[in-house]
Amino acid sequence: MKISLNVDGTRYEDDVEPRTLLVTHLREQLGMTGINIGCDTSNCGACTLHLDGDSVKSCTVLAVQADGSDVTTIHGMSEDENDMARWHPLQQAFHAEHGLQCGYCTPGMIMAAADLLKHNPDPTDVEVREGIEGNLCRCTGYTNIVRAVQRAAKAMRDGTPVFADENAEVPA
Amino acid sequence: MSATETQTTPNVGRTRLRKEDARLVTGRTNWTDDIRMVGTLHMHVVRSPMAHARITSIDTSHAEQMPGVTGVYTGRDLEAEYGPLPCAWPVTEDMVNPAHLALATEEVAYVGDGVAVVLARSKAEAVDAAEQVLVEYEPLTPVVDMRTALDDGAATVHSDLDSNRSYTWPLQSPSPEACDEAFSGAAHVVTREFINQRLIPLAMEPRAVVVAPMGHTGEYTVWSATQVPHILRLMLALTCSVPEQQLRVVAPDVGGGFGSKLNVYAEEVLALVLARKLGRPIKWTETRSEGFQSTIHGRDQIQRISLAMDEDGRFRGLKVELLADMGAYLQLVTPGVPILGAFMYPAIYKMDAYDFSCTGVFTNKTPTDAYRGAGRPEATYAIERIVDEAAHELGVDPMELREQNWIKHEEFPYDMIAGLTYDSGNYEAATAKAVEMFDYEGKRGEQQSRRSSGDTKMLGIGISTFTEMCGLAPSRVLGSLSYGAGGWEHASVRMLPSGKAEVITGTSPHGQGHLTAWSQIASDALGIPFEDIEVRFNDTSIAHKGLDTYGSRSLVVGGYAVVRACEKVIDKARQLAAHMLEASEDDLEFADGTFSVKGSPDATTTIQDVALATFAGHDYPEGMELGLDSDATVDPENFSYPHGTHLAFVEVDTETGAVELLDYVAVDDVGKVVNPQIVEGQVHGGLAQGIAQALYEEVVYDDQGNLTTGTMVDYYAPSAADLPAFRTDRTETPATTNPLGVKGVGEAGAIASTPAIMNAVIDALRPLGVNEVLMPASPKNVWNALQAAQSTDGGAA
């Protein structure tokens, strides 16, 4: 079937098999390998992205179901991936708070957290934990992910940068 | 200006944000499954749905006719292409090691054992065709329970085995007589049996491999989601008879390992021999559910442990008898995992005698192997649990009993009963800090008031004063334990003409942050900016020597090698600097990247200038070899011994069996610290995995050997909502056996936390007569323990 998707601001028209998952289409046909696959049961959330503004696990959506939609992936989050100052505050905060180790869950985690902050700009520790419950991380134990989400939330509320000096010492 | 005034802030010992992160947070990554090559054939493995069966026929004809399929291969078709998968640790001379072929030819021995592979143009086509491979099986009796597996006349895991025993490995110290004496004269002997359940490591990135023939050189490049590119290269060369010099192994971005990627897997062998056979790139990526069957599991021991004490609670002796489930085959270090644990049961405690034996048992299940801590979490669990049981029986506070028996700070270095020499430690300091952070006395008071109130939700405090052996390992010690390799590590430093530096390490990171930490070490040692250093690894063509990353060895051994390689570069640079400054080498001082002549502060040159001069080669001393590079290989003289005190506070609902973790304090002593933020992150992640063993995770097989926790729906890995914020701190007692004073931190959290949590759960339920709860302490297991305690009228002793 022919589908049309607007992914991170670019329009793509492709023929896809009806059974193709959105995540498979994005990875295999569009080459968007920043979206990861960590399971086959929709538990892990590594493939989380935004479909028409809402967070979804892209392994739970068929590519044909997304026809005509706007998709935002991790690649669409920063204004300039090469310029740390122009990253999304969540990307900056995950870096600053060491909210990632191997980084495999990170794109999905950031997309889920962005959706959480859209609905709750000032989440408590528990609210962050419940908000990202559908995304699994095996490296960090989540403590620094929660810190990162709250730090990004504050920066977004205040309209201030997450950190002024990337090389400044961070108390640990 | 004096050297001290110009000194920049050292990088080692302070947080530098990770260099790794920029690619990872923007999704500009290169995982193995992201590799795309023209002409790639996708491999799908047809796996056994039965735990034990004879293969009576395989009909591939339908599958071969499916669209896009280029070939279907059975075990018989490929058996001439490779030898058995390697086990590098024959722990005893008579160890039984069943031949483990990449595809079974006659019998399948666990659910997930491969029987055939399909190659097709796309992954989807390969999966479709695999469904048309018709395999007929004649069921054989599966062996599922490792206890009954050892019974006389028990069915065997492979038809050609005489028994299911792989090996028995004993250790008695200082002598068998001393072990008997410790127990025969004891005032108290406490004996327990613990089940250390089977776990799935569950790195977030599934395993994947791509193998491609590379041009005219006859070389194959293997990209694999592996922790051990160097070990994999050698083992694939031997297993597949590919000349080692024609194999290049690359571990691109690797998404966690925790031991599960410390192996040589069937799919890596299959992809290599099929790439050789067909001359095309072969690619395989596991699905998560497939990985639950085909990637190694961890733990799975039955631990019988007895502690003998004097009247006053002094430890006299420890006796440990293990049954360790190997699964159906021995993978790379399967039999050695419980042996690594053997040295850790005495933990931080002094005693007169130690009697250990482990029997490795085959079952028709997925093979076990190293999972975060590998034998040491199991040991720590058993010793820290039985010390709590002993304290309960003696009627003393479990912290006091520990304190009475642990090695005092002033007694280091200390020769342990298990044969190791602990170089350093300060259990008093770590415990004092943890007790204060946790408010141990206050929480004991809170627990008592809760008990008095008759509330059905009870509070428990759990202690774990753990140690471990890290920095694997002195090569001679590994040799004495019959391990197939050494424990050395290699590093190189290459000074570039522009004054920048490349550091090459034989360690192989997959999330730990070596790029950042190694840059910090080299920056301080060479006196060049952190930003000017690139660290290269994970490719056997770049890092030609190395023993990779596992066992909290990277910093302790690999970091040590980086220090040595930097020193060698500076020594070499000093020769040319002396020539450039027209001074004697002995008159040169080196600080902060600058050589200066003693007494002539204006006569200076930098290491960058020297690098350029050695590149140009216009003017250098007679007889000096040009170039400013170095190679260093170090072999550690001892293991390192991180330790710490962890305290857990839980609430157990006695009406539902639900456990809530209210607070967790971890004070770790990992020696000197290169990057505090990375260290804290390692501790956090370890805690989550150790707590998951205590509260959430368990691999379950049914009595036919079916994996009933076969997907992420059934195997409960905790999310953020299942864990509290951890409170961590450190004490710093430097290791004395490496120049950085570091001890390793990768496994600490996972080792310490499991017993802390379980001791807390049981501490909560003591008044109800509960002395044991099976892991995980799920509502069901807690409920069963409560029911069992009630039915024995308040429980056993």
Give the tens place of pLDDT for each residue, A95-105: 999 999 999 99
| DSSP code for B110 | S
pLDDT in tens, B515-530: 999 999 999 999 999 9
Q: Which two tokens stand for residue B677?
A: 């933020």
3-class secondary structure per residue, B345-363: CCCCECCCEEEEEEEEEEC
Domain boundary among A76, A95, A114: A76
Answer whether residue A99 is part of any domain. Answer: yes
In A, which residues are within 8 Å of B33 by CB distance? 33, 37
* Mode of pairing for the β-strands spanning B315-327 and B353-362: parallel
Contact status, residue B646 vs residue B461, Cβ threshold 8 Å: no
Are A89 and A135 contained in the same domain?
Answer: yes
Cα–Cα dist B8/B577, whole Å: 21
Q: Which of B26, B36, B512 sits opposite A74 (nearest CB)?
A: B26
Q: Tell me the β-bridge partners of B57.
A: B136
- pLDDT at position B792 is 76
Return d(Cα B795, Cα B668) in angstroms, integer.
35
Tell me which residue range forms the domain holding A35.
2-76
Architecture of the domain defined by B3-28+488-634: 2-Layer Sandwich (3.30)
Q: Are B61 and B716 in contact (CB under 8 A)?
A: no
Q: Minimal Cα–Cα distance from A116 to chain B, Å?
A: 14
A102 contact residues in B (CB cutoff 8 A): 24, 203-205, 253-256, 510-511
pLDDT digits (tens, 9 = 90+) for B187-230: 999 999 999 999 999 999 999 999 999 977 789 999 999 999 99
The burial of B305, by beta-carbon neighbours within 10 Å (0-12 exposed, 13-18 middle, 19 or more buried), is given as: buried
Rounded to a whole number, what is the distance in Å from the CA of B496 to chain A's nearest CA? 24
CA proximity to B510, closest of B269, B253, B326: B253
Interface contact A69, partner B, CB < 8 A = no
Q: What ipTM score was computed for the predicted complex, to two decimals?
A: 0.97
Cβ <8 Å between B719 and A135: yes
CB atoms within 10 A of CB B280: 18
Residue B436: CB atoms within 10 Å: 13
Structure tokens at B461: 């405090």
A143–B contact, CB cutoff 8 A: yes
Residue A94 and residue A71 in one domain: no
Domain count, chain A: 2
A133 with A153, same domain: the answer is yes
B-chain residues near A103 (CB < 8 A): 20-21, 23-25, 29, 253, 255, 511
CA-to-CA distance for B710 and B79, rounded, in angstroms? Answer: 29
pLDDT at B1: 36
Tell me: pLDDT of B150 over 70: yes
Q: Which residue of B has its CA nearest to A78?
A: B26
Q: Is A33 on the interface with B (CB under 8 A)?
A: yes
What is the C-alpha separation between A92 and B478, in angstroms, rounded? 44
**Nearest C-alpha in A relative to B718:** A136
The two three-digit tokens of residue B372, written as one number: 């975060």
For residue A167, being part of any structural domain is answered with no
In a domain, A20, yes or no: yes
Same domain, A90 and A134: yes
Given an 8 Å threshold on Cβ–Cβ distance, is B26 in contact with A75? yes
> What pLDDT score was predicted for residue A169?
47
Q: Which of A41, A143, A169 sits opposite B15 (nearest CB)?
A: A169
Q: How many CA atoms lie within 13 A of B345 on its CB side?
A: 30
Query: Among all residues of chain B, which has the CA nearest to that of A21?
Result: B124
Q: Does A35 touch chain B (CB under 8 A)?
A: yes
Q: Confirm or reject contact between A78 and chain B (CB < 8 A).
A: yes
Contacts with A77 from chain B: Cβ below 8 Å: 26
Residues of chain B found within 8 Å of residue A36, distances taken between Cβ atoms: 31, 204-205, 255
Instruction: Decide: residue B52, CB within 10 A, 0-12 exposed, 13-18 middle, 19+ buried.
Output: buried
Six-digit token pair at B477? 């010690």
Query: Using 50, 70 and 90 to split pLDDT, how confident is the model at A165?
Result: low
Residue A35 is assigned to a structural domain of this protein:
yes
d(CA A52, CA B231): 47
User: Percent of chain B scored above 70 by pLDDT?
Assistant: 98
Q: Do A136 and B717 touch (CB under 8 A)?
A: yes
- A105 with A65, same domain: the answer is no
pLDDT of residue A163: 80
If DSSP codes are grouped into helix, strand and coil, which group holds residue B413?
A: coil
Here the tokens at position B586 are 């002995």
Query: Out of A38, A101, A106, whose CB is closest to B685?
Result: A101
Query: Considering the domain boundaries, does residue A168 fall inside one?
Result: no
Task: For residue B713, give how far its alpha carbon lies from the nearest alpha carbon of chain A (Å).
Answer: 7
| A133/B720 CB distance under 8 A | yes
The pLDDT of residue B6: 44
Interface contact flag, B684 A46, Cβ < 8 Å? no
Distance of CA B114 to the CA centre of its chain: 26
Q: d(Cα B695, Cα B773) in Å, to the nearest integer?
A: 11
Angle at B483 between CA B478 and CA B488, to 5 degrees: 50
pLDDT, tens digit, 9 for 90 and up, residues A25-84 = 999 999 999 999 999 999 999 999 999 999 999 999 999 999 999 999 999 999 999 999
Q: CB A139 to CB B511 under 8 A? A: yes
Report CB contact under 8 Å: A75, B204. Answer: no
Residue in chain B closest to A144 (alpha carbons) equals: B681
**pLDDT value of position B218:** 85
What does the alpha-carbon distance between residue A22 and residue B567 come to, in Å, rounded to a whole number? 53
A148 within a domain of the structure (yes/no): yes
Q: Nearest 5°: CA angle at B52, between B47 and B57?
A: 60
B640 closest CA partner among B451, B376, B432, B392: B376
Å from A66 to nearest chain B CA? 20
Contacts of B564 (CB under 8 A, 6+ apart): B491, B632, B634, B739
Of A43, A76, A109, the position where a domain reaches its end is A76
Give me the sign of the Cα torsion angle A54, A57, A58, A64: negative
Region(s) of chain B under CATH 3.90.1170.50? 32-140+206-254+261-294
Is residue A70 located within the same domain as residue A103? no
pLDDT of residue A168: 56
Residue B391 CB neighbour total at 10 angstroms = 22
Same domain for A105 and A66:
no
pLDDT digits (tens, 9 = 90+) for B665-712: 999 999 999 999 999 999 999 999 999 999 999 999 999 999 999 999
CATH T-level fold of B373-469+639-789: Aldehyde Oxidoreductase; domain 4 (3.30.365)
Q: Omega into B776 within 30° of 0, i.e. cis?
A: yes
Nearest to A43 among B14, B689, B712 (CB): B712
Question: A68 and A10 share a domain?
Answer: yes
Residue in B29, B289, B712 closest to A103 by CB: B29
- Longest pairwise C-alpha distance within chain A: 54
Residues 103-142 of A with CB under 8 A from B: 103-107, 110, 125-126, 128-130, 132-142
Do residues B462 and B648 touch, judged by C-beta distance below 8 A?
Answer: yes
Report d(CA A48, CA A50) in Å as an integer.
Answer: 7
Q: What is the pLDDT of residue A171?
A: 45
Same domain, A70 and A9: yes
Q: Model confidence over B226-242: pLDDT tens digits?
A: 999 999 999 999 999 99
Separation CA B98–CA B156 (nearest Å): 12
Structure tokens at B270: 């299959």
Among B198, B378, B318, B200, which Cα is nearest to B754's?
B378
- Per-residue model confidence as pLDDT tens digits over B417-446: 999 999 999 999 999 999 999 999 999 999
Are the Cβ atoms of A94 and B22 closer than 8 angstroms? no
| pLDDT higher than threshold 70 for residue B797 | no
- Residue of B25, B205, B515 best to disrupt the A interface, most CBs of A under 10 A: B25
* A97 and A64 part of one domain: no
Distance CA B118, CA B376 (A): 40
- As a three-state string, the secondary structure of B535-580 is EECCECCCCCCCCCCCCCCHHHHHHHHHHHHHHHHHHHHHHHHHHH
Q: Is the peptide bond before B473 cis (omega within 30 degrees of 0)?
A: yes
> What is the average per-residue pLDDT within A119-126?
98
The one-letter amino acid code at A13 reads: E
- The yes-or-no verdict on residue B2 having pLDDT over 60 is no
For residues B191 and B361, the answer to whether their CB atoms sit within 8 Å is no
Please tell me the distance from the alpha carbon of residue B257 to that of residue A35, in angstroms, as a whole number: 19
Asked if residue B752 has pLDDT above 70, the reply is: yes
The full DSSP string for B719-752 is -GGGSPPPEEEE-----SSSTT-B---SSHHHHH
Cβ atoms B139, B53 nearer than 8 A: yes
CATH of the domain at A123: 1.10.150.120
- pLDDT for residue B121 is more than 50: yes
CATH 3.30.365.10: which residues of chain B? 3-28+488-634, 373-469+639-789
Helices (H), B17-109: 21-26, 61-64, 75-78
- Beginning with the edge strand found earlier in the chain, give each strand of the sheet holding B208-214 in spatial order: B69-74, B114-120, B41-47, B282-285, B208-214, B219-224, B247-250
A69 with A90, same domain: the answer is no
CATH class for the region spanning B32-140+206-254+261-294: alpha beta
Please check the confidence at residue B145 and state whether its pLDDT lies above 80. Answer: yes
Chain B residues within an 8 Å CB radius of A85: none
Chain B residue at shortest CA distance from A166 = B17
**Single-letter amino acid, residue B783:** W
Question: Residue B4 — pLDDT band, cuts 50, 70, 90?
Answer: very low
Smallest CA–CA separation between B727 and chain A, in Å? Answer: 9
- Token duo for residue B405: 């028996």
Report CB contact under 8 Å: B14, A75: no
Q: What is the pLDDT of residue B791?
A: 87
Q: How far apart are CA B219 and CA A11, in angstroms?
A: 41
Residues of chain A in contact with residue B21, where contact means CB-CB under 8 angstroms, are 94-95, 100, 103
> Residues of chain B with pLDDT > 90: what percent?
97
Question: Residues A56, A89: one domain?
Answer: no
Is B289–A40 a contact, with Cβ atoms under 8 angstroms apart?
Answer: yes
Interface check A72 vs B, CB under 8 A: no
d(CA B475, CA B359): 25
Decide if A21 is inside a domain: yes
B-interface mutation test, from A37, A39, A90, A125, most B Cβ less than 10 A away: A39
How far, in Å, CA of B18 to CA of A162, rounded? 16
Q: Residue B247 has which token pair?
A: 């194999």
> What is the pLDDT, as a whole number, of residue A167?
57
In angstroms, the CA B53 to CA B111 distance is 10
Q: State the average pLDDT for chain B.
A: 96
- Among B299, B389, B404, B300, residue whose Cα is nearest residue B350: B404
- Where does B179-337 show beta strands of DSSP type E? 188-199, 208-214, 219-224, 247-250, 282-285, 298-309, 315-327
The residue of chain A nearest to residue B512, with distances taken between CA atoms, is A101
What are the distances in angstroms from CA B657 to CA B96, B358, B795?
42, 33, 17
Q: How many CB pairs under 8 A join A and B?
A: 194
A100 belongs to a structural domain: yes
Inter-chain touch B711–A143, beta carbons under 8 Å:
no
SS3 B404: helix
Q: Which of A73, A74, A133, A139 to mutate to test the interface with B (most CBs of B within 10 A)?
A: A139
Which residues share a beta bridge with B248?
A: B221
Q: Give the closest of A78, A84, A130 to B721, CB-based.
A: A130
Structure tokens at B159: 């038809």
The confidence score (pLDDT) of residue B794 equals 47
DSSP A84: G
DSSP string, A95-124: HHTT--SS-SSHHHHHHHHHHHHHH-SS--
A172 touches chain B (CB under 8 A): yes
Task: Give the model's pLDDT for residue A166.
Answer: 61
